[in-house]
Amino acid sequence: MGAGGLKILEHKNIRERSQRTAWFQDARFGMFIHWGLYAIPARGEWVRSTERIRHEDYLEYFREFDAAEYEPREWARLAKKAGMKYAVLTAKHHDGFCLWDTKLTDFKSTNTPAGRDMVREYLEAFREEGLKAGLYFSIIDWRHPDFPHYGDRQHPLRDDPAEKNDARDFNRYLDFMHSQIRELLTGYGRLDIMWFDFSYGKMKGAAWKAQELISMVRSLQPWLVVDNRLEGSGEESGTILTANPSDYAGDFACPEQMIPPGGIMNELGQPVPWEACITLNNHWGYCAADSHWKSADMVIRMLVECVSKGGNLLLNVGPDAKGRIPAASAAVLEEVGRWMADNGESIYGCGAAAYPKPEWGRFTQKGKKLYAHVFEPQAGGVCLPGLAGKVGALRLLADGSEVRAAKYWNLAEYPEHVFFHLNPQSFDSYPLPDPRDTVVEVRLKT
């Protein structure tokens, strides 16, 4: 009910998106996988654009790609171990190279020395591990002759006047692009998520014939969770933020390389499902020279931050040319997995808490369970602000052991707060039992 008892009629697209995203919002943590020919030059997936490489020259990598150590079951096991519940693989990135056996172009993995349908094998492997699996599909295609070249914002040949677009037929490109999506939605079983990337300038929504496209997508796989980039990007969310989202506004917003302050609400103040996609180093596609890895602590805290604001984290890995997830990424994921094994309950199915962010960390909440994620050791007890009278038992989530709320003499002037002690032998809460993030389950009375 809205203010004054008026019932707000929810837009059909908002209602349907809540149904479709129920699993997605419980899952909270997923693996993004950027993999393609660009793993060979190893300077990121934009290498064609940033270095203005011609398609003919890029073919060198196509002739070489053998992905000899591609073992998607290893990827799936790693994702599961990390506590991830779903994954998204780049079936096709902006370079136009396809990791599946498409009938619509020869520029595909089955025509490389690898000779394999990477998408099929990936989907099978992740499903076998019990993970949800979906695909990233670039609606931009720098290889297709009918996609604008000269003057485009980022095409590798954007500055080459010999690449004028007069003879290009964008409708022919759209037929191709829609048909490729149809292929993926009809030949690979039930997909869970589809991540279209991306719109820019006038290239958005209607320009992609997005209405037609989404009708096809919804009729083929109505359960599919779709991102918002048929009309948006990491830069702009589109009508998903309005009270009347378009049919192709998408089911979730996807902020990129940042976690939105305060989560994401639409103009009515209703929470919008969202997923922050973030790299483990500073590149999506494999980059040999980039060893700027985030630590497991950082990843855990990013994940907690997302959940505490009602969002998901889609954490990226960029497998190398052989098909291996870099050892440094795997090590971080395994460490995150050790924390998740003890504390996953404070992530899955959880969302923003009814209480504001505390000084020492963050809250996540699921019904009457409030999870206190303590990041910073405290002098004295850890304060649950304003929670006096509302708190039942407190337990360390990692092992179920009792945590005691104490009223020491020095707390006499703070009757409205609850303080719990993580070090019962002393007045302080130092060191923290888990310096990455110590989670205390707070059982609320109401």
What are the C-alpha distances in Å from 172 to residues 70, 186, 229, 446?
A: 34, 21, 21, 60
What are the C-alpha distances in Å from 4 to residues 1, 7, 61, 216, 401?
A: 8, 9, 64, 41, 46
Tell me which residue of 344, 264, 270 sits closest to 311, measured CA to CA.
264
Q: In this complex, which beta carbon is closest to ligand GLC, that of residue 46 or of residue 107? A: 46
Under the binding rule (CB under 6 A), the answer on residue 45 touching ligand GLC is: yes
Q: In this complex, which beta carbon is closest to ligand GLC, that of residue 278 or of residue 304? A: 278
- How many whole angstroms separate alpha carbon 443 and alpha carbon 406? 16
Under the binding rule (CB under 6 A), the answer on residue 275 touching ligand GLC is: no
Sorted by sequence, the CB contacts under 8 Å of residue 138 that are 6+ apart come out as 90, 92, 93, 94, 96, 196, 197, 198
Token pair belonging to 368? 């009457």
Tell me which residue of 420, 264, 435, 442 sits closest to 364, measured CA to CA.
442
Per-residue contact flags (x/-) with ligand GLC for residues 187 to 226, judged by CB under 6 A: ----------xx----------------------------
Helices vs strands, H then E, count in the chain: 10, 14
Under the binding rule (CB under 6 A), the answer on residue 278 touching ligand GLC is: no
Instruction: Tell the smallest beta-carbon distance from residue 108 to ligand GLC (Å).
Output: 19
Contact 230, 210 (CB under 8 A): yes
Q: In this complex, which beta carbon is closest to ligand GLC, that of residue 177 or of residue 422? A: 177
Q: In this complex, which beta carbon is closest to ligand GLC, that of residue 200 or of residue 360? A: 200
- How many whole angstroms separate alpha carbon 194 and alpha carbon 332? 26
Under the binding rule (CB under 6 A), the answer on residue 95 touching ligand GLC is: no
Under the binding rule (CB under 6 A), the answer on residue 284 touching ligand GLC is: yes
Q: Contacting ligand GLC (CB under 6 A), which of 11, 101, 111, 234?
A: 234
Instruction: Tell the smallest beta-carbon distance from residue 235 to ligand GLC (Å).
Output: 9
Instruction: Tell the smallest beta-carbon distance from residue 312 to ligand GLC (Å).
Output: 13
Q: Contacting ligand GLC (CB under 6 A), which of 66, 101, 256, 297?
A: 256
Per-residue contact flags (x/-) with ligand GLC for residues 320 to 359, judged by CB under 6 A: ----------------------------------------
Name the residue type at position 371.
Y
The residue ranges that bind ligand GLC (CB under 6 A) are 34, 45-46, 197-198, 234, 256, 277, 284
